[in-house]
Amino acid sequence: MLRLLGLLLVIWLAFTVIGAVVEGLFWLAVVGLIFFVGTAALGWNKRDHKSLPRGR
Residue 56: the pLDDT is 53
Cα–Cα distance measured from residue 12 to residue 42, given in angstroms and rounded to the nearest whole number: 14
User: What is the DSSP annotation of 1-56?
Assistant: -HHHHHHHHHHHHHHHHHHHHSTT-HHHHHHHHHHHHHHHHHHHHHHHHHHSPP--
pLDDT at 29 over 60: yes
Cα–Cα distance measured from residue 28 to residue 8, given in angstroms and rounded to the nearest whole number: 15
Cα-Cα end-to-end distance for the chain: 25
Mean pLDDT value of segment 31-43: 90
Q: Is the pTM of this model over 0.95?
A: no
Mean pLDDT value of segment 43-48: 77
